[in-house]
Structures are given as C-alpha cells and as structure tokens.
Structure 1
Amino acid sequence: MVWQGRSRRTYTGKLIRPARKKRKYEMGRPQVETLIGERKIKKERCRGGNIKIKLVRDKFANVYVPAEGKVVRAEVTNVVENRAHVHYARKNVITKGAIIQTSLGKAKVTNRPSQEGVINAILIE
C-alpha cells in the first residue's frame, strides 16, 4: 500500500487511537518521474472515472517567450537545475519549477508534467 496516514502521536506525545481504518480512496500512487526522450504517456483512471494523463518521457516543451508574447514548441536538451530533489538535475527529471535547457535558451517549468501530460515553461534567458 502507498498511503501513510496521520501520525499516531500528538505534538505533546499523547497516543491517538484510530476511529476508523484506512479507505481505498485515501491511497496514493507512485510518483511518475518525467524524463527527456521520445514522448510516452501513461493514462490512469482516477476516482469518479476521470482520466489523468501522466507524462513519462517527452523531448518537446511549450515555451512562452515574453518578448514576443507567444508560445513556441522547443526541444528540451537537459535539466539545468531542479530544487525538488538533489539528484533530479543529474537524472534529468522534470518537475514543476525545474530549470530546463531548450533550443531557445533556459526556461522554467510552470506546470506539473507528471500529472498534466505536457511540459509548459517560460523563457528566462
């Protein structure tokens, strides 16, 4: 199982006895680490029958260029910086807030690719 649940202790150290058991809808799923490569998506059924598109790999990003005021499709070459995890830049994992090197220059990722199925970024250089 992938869920953690609440701590069994209060901040003072008192034990909290559970009022009920865990529910299936409280369960999470393993994180998808979006990498650079040929486009590959994973479709997952969510609660209520909705479908969430998870991006496993992609080599293109929709980059907004502020000077021109338009969005350009640019090729992603590598991840320069990622504050989400120490090793994500080394492994070329793209998450929200990551700085990526594109064919246009450096850009910052503004969405969550592993949950939205696309990489959106804004040019910073």
Structure 2
Amino acid sequence: MTDHGRSLRKRTGGRLRPKRDRRKHEIGNEPTETQVGDAKLKTVDARGNSTKVRAIKADTASVATDDGVVAAEIEDVVENPADPNYARRNIITRSAIVETSAGRARVTSRPGQDGQINAVLVE
C-alpha cells in the first residue's frame, strides 16, 4: 500500500497547501501491464539493493492441473477483474482468466512483479 501523505483539506474543509514536493521513494512506478505475445522480460532495480523481473510480454503459463503442473501456451485473456479494458487489450494481471492450451485458467502470480505466470485450472 502506498502512502499518499497528508490530506489537502482541513477538518473544516479549508485548504492545506503542500509542505514540500514528493520524494523519490514516494513516487512509485507505472504498472507493467503484461501482454500476450513472444516472451519479453525486463529487470528493474528495487529497494534494498535487490532487483525485480517484470514480464513485459508472455506466451506460456505454468498451469496447475490434477496431474501436476504443465507448461501451457496462452492464447487469449478471457476476463480480467482488475479492469474490463484489460481483457480487450490482452493484458494479464493477477486473477485474470486466460485461455490456455490446457483449458481456462486463473492467474495466481503477479507477472509484473515476478516475471512469471502461474495459474490454476478453472472448472
């Protein structure tokens, strides 16, 4: 969760002027918006001398089935509860329902944060 700082209004409804501009650590980053396509990864610096791998585009998902985990080709984004436009634009986020070669699956990982797509079959 991000800290948006002090409110711009007083309890009485009056305006409070900002004390200062935003600091670097308060800015954050744009969402990655992973799309369906040939796999493309990007490494970005994170806080604490660590890195994150962001999936810019992805074409395969590790789908958990009754027989175990299989690597399935992603064909289409059927539904995305994060934003209805994401399904139309084929953008994969956590909880998105994707059509794969193994069947319809719900994404359980965060592709923009850890660069891989893990999913569970939806009955």
TM normalised by structure 2 equals: 0.87
Residue aligning to 2:116: 118
Query: Does residue 57 of structure 1 match 2:57?
Result: yes
Shift of 1:27: 1.4
In structure 2, C-alpha distance between the alignment counterparts of 1:117 and 1:49, rounded to whole Å: 18
Secondary structure of 1:87 counterpart = helix
Distance 1:21 1:63, change over 3 A: same
In structure 2, C-alpha distance between the alignment counterparts of 1:47 and 1:16, rounded to whole Å: 31
In structure 2, C-alpha distance between the alignment counterparts of 1:12 and 1:91, rounded to whole Å: 44
Distance 1:10 1:52, change over 3 A: farther
CA contact (8 A) 2:59 2:74 kept: yes
In structure 1, C-alpha distance between the alignment counterparts of 2:43 and 2:12, rounded to whole Å: 43
Shift of 1:93: 0.3
Shift of 1:21: 4.2
- Structure 2: runs of 5 or more not aligned: none
Give 2:90's aligned amino acid: N
- Return 46-55 or 56-65, whichever deviates more: 46-55
For each residue in 1:56-78, what CA deviation from the matched residue of structure 2 results, as whole angstroms up to 9, or x when unmatched?
Answer: 0010000001x22x111100000
1:1-125 correspondence runs (5 A):
5-6=4-5, 7-10=7-10, 13-18=13-18, 21-65=21-65, 67-68=66-67, 70-125=68-123
In structure 1, C-alpha distance between the alignment counterparts of 2:18 and 2:44, rounded to whole Å: 31
Q: What is the root-mean-square deviation of aligned Cα atoms in Å?
A: 2.1
CA contact (8 A) 2:3 2:26 kept: no
Equivalent pairs counted in the alignment come to 121
Percentage identity across paired residues of the two chains: 44
Structure 1 segments, 4+ long, off by >6 Å, are none
In structure 2, C-alpha distance between the alignment counterparts of 1:64 and 1:103, rounded to whole Å: 13
In structure 1, C-alpha distance between the alignment counterparts of 2:12 and 2:71, rounded to whole Å: 53
- Structure 1: runs of 5 or more not aligned: none
